[in-house]
Every structure is written in C-alpha cells, then in structure tokens.
Amino acid sequence: MQTKYNTTSDSETHCIECVDAMYRYALFLTCNPEDAEGLVQETYARALQLIGNPWGGGNAKKGLFAILRDIWLHDVGRSHPKSDESPVRRRGPHSAVGYPGGLHHASASGIEDEQVRIAVRSLPVPYCEVILLREFEDLSYHSIATVLGCPVGTVVARLSQARTALRELLAA
C-alpha cells in the first residue's frame, strides 16, 4: 500500500538496487574509485530522465549499464576497449574484478576467489569485460551485446574464448 509520502516508482527502486552493480562496472572501466562514483552519479541522473521510457525491453539493469558505458565512451572521451593489453597492467589494486562469490563453477571446484580474480584481471580487456557482465552481473547474452554495442555472436565468441583462457590460467 502506497502512502502519500512514497513517491518512488518501481523503476527508481530498481535503479537504486542496481547502484552496486553499476559501481563495480564503472570501477572496471575507469580504474579509479572517484571517477567510478562520478560515472555512476551521471548515469543515475541520466537514467532518471528516461524513467517513463522502456529500457531495453523492460530490462533496467541492461539499460543502466548501456547508459553508463555510453557516458564513459563518449563523454569521458575514452576509446572502445579493443586492446589486447592485459587489464592487470592497466588496472591497479582497485580493479572491479573483486566481486564477491567469484565464478560459480570455479568456486564449486574449490578454486579460491582470489585466484579467480587474478585470472580474470589477466585476461585481455574484451574478454574481461564480457566475463564481468555475464558471470558476475548475470546479464544475458543479448543484454551484454546491447551494453557493448556488438552482435550477440561476438559476445558468445568472446565469452567462449574468455572461459577457455580462464580454464587454462586456473589449471596452471
């Protein structure tokens, strides 16, 4: 039951619930906690302007991630992360790969979460990004394709290659 003081819409509530996930992704992109906070704030501000519009077929998380990445790519003047440079060399200890829980299948096989984080950080940026969005943020392939602005087939291929690389790194 809503009271006259409760003016929070379902979309706004979902935005608030997504803030932690948005921050982790922003931290991955910016490699800087302060920049990540600013990016999340700008994303949230822009998203509030779009509340009346459907986001990606009703998937607010996908919409928020797409807005966040778009701001990072266009407003911050970043280029699309196509480099094969290892993110561990570019990202410091504040890398957003420090997600709680780690990869489900890695945790189930007894591999320590820290080993998983180190392995993910050592992947090329396109692989690291797709792993983060799929395994840690639980976005669908279609949602990831929307966020990254690439075909679903590219997401599937990158994810397959990233998982193969992770298996090799974790087996070593």
Domains and their CATH numbers in the chain: 9-79 (1.10.1740.10), 83-172 (1.10.10.10)
- pLDDT for res 172: 77
- pLDDT for res 53: 55
- pLDDT for res 10: 60
- pLDDT for res 82: 42
What's the rounded Cα separation, in Å, for the pair 42 and 31?
A: 17
Reduced to 3 states (helix: H, G, I; strand: E, B; else coil), residue 4 is coil
- pLDDT for res 84: 41
**Is residue 125 within 8 Å of 83, Cβ to Cβ?**
yes
What's the rounded Cα separation, in Å, for the pair 4 and 124?
A: 51
Mean pLDDT per block of 10 residues along the chain (172 residues) reads 52 68 87 91 84 56 87 67 40 40 45 77 88 90 93 96 92 82
- pLDDT for res 46: 86
- Of 125, 104, 101, 123, the C-alpha closest to 114 is 101
- pLDDT for res 87: 39
What's the rounded Cα separation, in Å, for the pair 155 and 143?
A: 10
